[in-house]
Amino acid sequence: MNIKKKALELLSLEGKLAMVTGGASGIGLGTAVRLAEMGASIALLDIDKSQGKRAAKGIRKLGGDVEFYWCDVTSYSECEETVRAVYEEFGRIDILFNNAGVIKRKNTLELSEEEWDLVLSVDLKAIYLLSHHVIPYMIENGGGSIINTGSGWGLKGGPDAVAYCAAMGGTVNLTRAMAIDHGKHGIRVNCVCPGDTDTPLLREEASQLGEDEDEFLRRASDRPLERVGVPDDIANAVLYFASDMSSWVTGAILVVDGGGLA
């Protein structure tokens, strides 16, 4: 038996199309690169057109097959149109990584209704919208893998982040419900819950709280593995869920946080 060959076969995404939301930076971009490295074609979705195009160009330079799509993931019609365009371009959608996210570091008294609506729309509603439009194509192709980005704060509470915690809790249980509904279609649905990961979103939290970035990240590293995460840490977990390595895994919630939740 060629052990290395078998391992590569289990992780290979050759011939598959992966749709990645929030793909212009951070975890989304890191994961798009990792999935492309394993052979997947990439549909990169983001609301930041200039950064999204730069991200796609960077993946192409690495040899990846990628197209960028501007998409407001909170809009039913935009999601419908984008999913249709991706399917028409690639003829399949095998992997959906619902990763777009925002955070507002405020408690219930400080948070405005508009901010509540924004966080719930981007972090939770968008998962429903993209999945609603992608799942029929996955069924047509005989199955697929949907991976949702949650958070440790979807499993426990956190300070001054009431809308984010609500959205993440919803993401965790939405994942389980979708896994139950669509297992019969050969569609696996799982959730990766990152801890503090060095991304523009984490650094924005420091700004929202009026804190020094370096000090904020230093405190965030106070966990058993003594560092904050990097996008590659999360990308490896998503690769596991996207690949045949997890062929009998659905409805799972995988915490990737350096031991912080523990």
Tens digit of each residue's pLDDT (9 = 90 or more) over 205-225: 999 999 999 999 999 999 999
Predicted confidence (pLDDT) per residue in 77-119, tens digit: 999 999 999 999 999 999 999 999 999 999 999 999 999 999 9
* pLDDT of 2: 81
Task: In whole angstroms, give the CA distance from residue 208 to residue 119.
Answer: 14
* pLDDT of 1: 66
* Mean pLDDT within 247-261: 98
Let me know if 164 is a catalytic residue. yes
Q: What is the mean pLDDT of the chain?
A: 97
> Which residue intervals of 38-125 are DSSP H helices?
49-61, 76-90, 113-120
Task: In whole angstroms, give the CA distance from residue 242 to residue 245.
Answer: 8
Is the overall model pTM greater than 0.85, yes or no?
yes
Tokens, residue 111 = 């948070």
Task: In whole angstroms, give the CA distance from residue 195 to residue 221.
Answer: 10
Query: Which domains are present in the chain?
Result: 14-196+232-250 (3.40.50.720)
What contacts 134, CB < 8 A, 6 or more positions away? 19, 83, 93, 96, 144, 146
* pLDDT of 180: 98
Per DSSP, 229 falls in state B
Which is catalytic among the residues 69, 137, 164, 240?
164
Predicted confidence (pLDDT) per residue in 146-205, tens digit: 999 999 999 999 999 999 999 999 999 999 999 999 999 999 999 999 999 999 999 999
